[in-house]
Structure 1
Amino acid sequence: MAKLRADQLPGALKKRLAPVYLVTGDEPLLSQESCDAIRQTAKKQGFIERELYHTDAGFSWDELYNATNAMSLFADKKIIEIRIHNGKPGDAGSKAILEFCANINDDTLLLLVSPKIDSRSQNSKWYKAIDQAGEVITIWPVGPAQLPRWVDTRLKQAGLNADSEAIDILCAKTEGNLLAAVQEVEKLKLVAEGNFIDAQMMANAVMDSARYDTFGMVDKAIFGDSRAAAESLQGLRAEGTEALALLWALTRDIRTLTNIKEGLQAGENFDLAAKRNGVWDKRKPLFKQAIQRHKLPQLYGLLRKTALADRIAKGSAKGDIWNLLLDITLGLAGVNVHSAKTARQEILR
């Protein structure tokens, strides 16, 4: 079965809902949107329950066996979502995935989410089993050459049109950060007079930014300036910035740091690892400094917190999203913050 790009997924979902999906790639926004589209389609077809697992310390692939075989009290169809943090399920995971694909259950949908899968893993039995039984959605990075077309498409989806010069201004403003581009498009929907955006209007819109900038806040945290990062976070909250938008920005860069750190430990050159993970040249010094400050267990811990924050933001877990975002921001800046309440929520997730 042919692999799908993210932009092909909506059409494929209209034709059929597959029993198993693998969403793989290193662009958090497109990965999140693909997962959301799968969940929404599944919900319309009766998949009401959702069980979420992360393959970090303490996870056992027996969870997949148990979740597949256990019937809920009301016998609802359910989604089993597993986040494979390093793209490698291991022997136990491979066996569990192969068994699931060989014994498809109409009442269970398996959604696997992973960073970019390497070529060796694409030749594995578990990957081929998913490709045969379901769908593999490969999230390709949007490079500088593709960004203008991507921005143009997003504008049209928002009911807006822009000339090429205006699109170039937006691309330069966001520097390849897709979430930032989406936020600017949402802003344009509010300020545009009519549906056409020319260069002057685009320049005025993108320069009329809030005092506190989402990605500036994340950069302060990566730099290690905990006080400034915390101040920016509180400022963004006061200005009405959505918590989920901040979470996406934090998750993106924490995942990028994790991928680079794993690459370095595997013997990869920093510049190559940074390029592979879409880090722009002017941000490389920030990431190099943060890489030296963080160890992998710390980064894995931050990713677990972002997963918890995602569940809280979407109403599937209880907690104070802003306190947790502050924990994540300070943790990224190098401050060890881990409240007992947060720990309990992670243990009981």
Structure 2
Amino acid sequence: MRPNPQHTDTGMAPLHVVFGGELLLVTETVDAIRVRARSQGYTERTVFTVDTRFDWGNLSQWGCQSSLFGERRVLELRIPTGKPGKEGGAAIEALCRNLPRDAIIIVTLPEMDKQGRASKWFKALENTARMTEIKPVGRDRLAHWVKQRLEQQRQTVDRDTLQFFADKVEGNLLAAYQEIKKLELLYSPGPLSFEQVKDALLDVTRFDVFQLPEALLSADMVRYGRILKGLEGEGMAPPLILAVLSEQIRLLLKVYLLMDANKGMPIEQAMTALRIWPARQKLMLNVIQRVRYPQLVQALRQAALIDRVIKGVEKGDIWEEFLNLGACFAADANFRMARRNDFLSTINSSQN
């Protein structure tokens, strides 16, 4: 990516682009740019959020106007979908060709896929703006991220406590941030004990039903079982859990069927045609390479069984049947054939 060498007379780039899937980090980055701009006299702020009804004429009109009070201006152009459309793409290209004077423009985008990065409007931004890509903080990096954030507020914990913290927030960066700030309010700077962190976290830990699909599709049965136990303990409605998981299974089946109907269609093209988010495509790709069509059909049959148990048409333990559904995606065929008490023992041991 090539940032534009031109700068305002205050040394700031006139156009910034911040993009990525971590909303917290995107927001923090934009906040930092805005604070710096304000410190250098850019006090008039306008925010445009692009949706299906957005009038792109507002962008060119803003660019042509000057501040009523002669103040330097900041424009935040937020494009949550990352797809401005034909009209929006042309407006962005025009903006890049003729940046307004005495203004700082901040464009925010989600994580961009290969097709989006290849678009003319994105290329125009690359050649004109200072680009900042926010990389996702995966579960493997979350403990280190928490450690750095705690150190910023002059607090430290040991490695085991860090891992406990990461497991409890389940990769949710915003939840992790909120818990870190709570620790700052509760305790003085310095080392924190495991008991202090545990007491602070367990009071408000909530398992999110929308974390289940990632654990299911990645065949992380221990994590899947742990989240299920949390949802059961919180009294989460089983029909909602079933709806979330069934949607993922049907989506995978649609990918298979689309590829079968269009011989030779690449998996990536099939997922794009089905409007699967770029951030989700890598996970889906791993599942398709590992789990065969008959297993997905079996998983859908298991979901149908759970539906009948929920409705009282068939007898059974709903939560055990959810575990059976998870076993359909296990990476190891021997694991899928393991006895039920072995599976439960694996999950229960992870709680200790």
Q: Which TM class, normalised by the smaller chain length?
A: 0.5 to 0.7
Tell me, yes or no, if structure 1 residue 136 matches structure 2 residue 131: yes
Partner of 2:274: 267
Q: Which amino acid aligns with 2:83?
A: K
Distance 1:46 1:276 in 2: 45
- Paired residue for 2:102, among 89, 100, 107? 107
Name stretches of at least 5 consecutive residues in structure 2 with no aligned partner: 4-9, 212-233, 235-247, 252-269, 285-302, 304-352
Distance 1:43 1:111 in 2: 13
Q: Deviation string for 1:259-296 (max 9, x for gaps)?
A: x9xx989315799838769xxxxxxxxxx9xxxxxxxx
Distance 2:32 2:277 in 1: 35
Partner of 1:236: none
SS in 2 for 1:145: helix
- Paired residue for 2:87, among 77, 85, 92? 92
Q: Deviation string for 1:12-67 (max 9, x for gaps)?
A: xxx94211122212211111111111111111111111111122132121111100
Q: Percent identity?
A: 33
Report how far residue 74 of structure 1 moved. 0.3
Matches of residues 243-282 of structure 1 in structure 2 within 5 Å? Answer: 266-267=273-274, 273=280
Tell me, yes or no, if structure 1 residue 31 matches structure 2 residue 26: yes
Distance 1:125 1:48 in 2: 31
Name stretches of at least 5 consecutive residues in structure 1 with no aligned partner: 4-14, 220-231, 233-256, 278-287, 289-349
Q: Which amino acid aligns with 1:91?
A: K
SS in 1 for 2:140: coil
Distance 1:270 1:184 in 2: 28
Call closer, same or farther: CA 1:272–1:122 in 2, change over 3 Å: closer
Partner of 1:205: 200
Contact kept in structure 1, 2:113 and 2:278, CA below 8 Å: no
SS in 1 for 2:81: coil
- Paired residue for 1:79, among 60, 71, 74? 74
SS in 1 for 2:154: coil
Tell me, yes or no, if structure 1 residue 42 matches structure 2 residue 34: no
Tell me, yes or no, if structure 1 residue 66 matches structure 2 residue 61: yes
Contact kept in structure 1, 2:112 and 2:278, CA below 8 Å: no
Distance 1:179 1:92 in 2: 34
Distance 2:279 2:100 in 1: 42
Could you state the TM-score of these two structures normalised by the residue count of structure 1?
0.57
Tell me, yes or no, if structure 1 residue 151 matches structure 2 residue 158: no
Q: Deviation string for 1:174-209 (max 9, x for gaps)?
A: 0111111111111211232541123233223322x2
Distance 1:269 1:121 in 2: 14
Aligned length: 225
Call closer, same or farther: CA 1:265–1:97 in 2, change over 3 Å: closer
Q: Which amino acid aligns with 1:61?
A: W
Distance 2:70 2:188 in 1: 51
Report how far residue 155 of structure 1 moved. 0.6
Distance 1:270 1:74 in 2: 43
Contact kept in structure 1, 2:20 and 2:112, CA below 8 Å: yes
Contact kept in structure 2, 1:165 and 1:198, CA below 8 Å: no
Q: Which amino acid aligns with 1:198?
A: S
Could you state the TM-score of these two structures normalised by the residue count of structure 2?
0.56
Distance 1:200 1:134 in 2: 47
Distance 1:167 1:127 in 2: 38
Distance 1:27 1:146 in 2: 13
